Amino acid sequence: MNPGLRWLLMALVLLQLSGCGINNIPTYDEQVKAAWSQVLNQYQRRSDLVPNLVNTVKGYAAQEKDVLTAVVEARSRVAQTQLPKDVLTDPAAFKTFQDNQAQLSSALARLLVVVERYPELKSNQNFLALQSQLEGTENRIAVARRDYIQAVQQYNTEIRTFPGRIWKAILYADATPKENFTVSQEAQQVPEVEFQTQ
């Protein structure tokens, strides 16, 4: 066979292979990593807002020490969490991260409920700005988590289905399913609403 023809055939085979999903696994893996970085970025943004929010509330609601302490402690746990490199494939580490973030979310929600008792605080411009930033950040966290969930779904589906499963076996044996966010048992409970009759 002519060497030029042989190179042409090899080029055509490589072109065919590149179009049949051989690069999907590393591409999707990078998308998962990028989405995870955005999740961490938004959680860090929220964590950075907490001290200012707590200090603003502290001046108005000093007697709400338990709630303020819970927020500070939850933020501290989040800040002290050391994420291993394999957090996305380590169920225990991922759960610890998720639980710590959920505790901070819960503590912040309790703090905002306490604020309702202090009309002068609710009208404080500094507090209103911080509350607005916090609400915006919570929305960004939700979007970042959604994007991460979708990226993980695409990646995990690729390594478990044809032809990705074949490429995983041949070229990407170290590709393992990524962990995903779950909904806590408390969040799945339907809140009870009681109406008081007069």
- Per-residue burial over 137-154, b if 16 or more Cβ lie within 10 Å, else e, is beebbeebbebbeebbee
Q: pLDDT by residue (tens digit) across 114-131?
A: 888 888 888 888 899 999
Residues 6+ apart with CB under 8 A from 94: 87, 88, 179
Residues 6+ apart with CB under 8 A from 160: 177
Q: pLDDT by residue (tens digit) across 132-171?
A: 999 999 999 999 999 999 999 999 999 999 889 999 999 9
Determine the residue type at 19. G
pTM here is 0.82
- Neighbouring C-beta atoms of residue 155, cutoff 10 Å: 26
Looking at residue 17, its pLDDT comes to: 58
Q: Measured between alpha carbons, how far is 110 from 57 in angstroms, rounded to an integer?
A: 12
Looking at residue 3, its pLDDT comes to: 81
- Neighbouring C-beta atoms of residue 164, cutoff 10 Å: 21
Q: Measured between alpha carbons, how far is 149 from 136 in angstroms, rounded to an integer?
A: 20
Looking at residue 190, its pLDDT comes to: 57
Are the C-beta atoms of residues 98 and 181 closer than 8 Å to each other?
A: yes
Q: pLDDT by residue (tens digit) across 11-68?
A: 766 666 556 788 999 999 999 999 999 999 999 999 999 999 999 898 888 788 899 9
Closest CA to 172 of 35, 6, 15, 30: 30
- Neighbouring C-beta atoms of residue 43, cutoff 10 Å: 21
Residues 6+ apart with CB under 8 A from 173: none
Q: Measured between alpha carbons, how far is 121 from 44 in angstroms, rounded to an integer?
A: 25
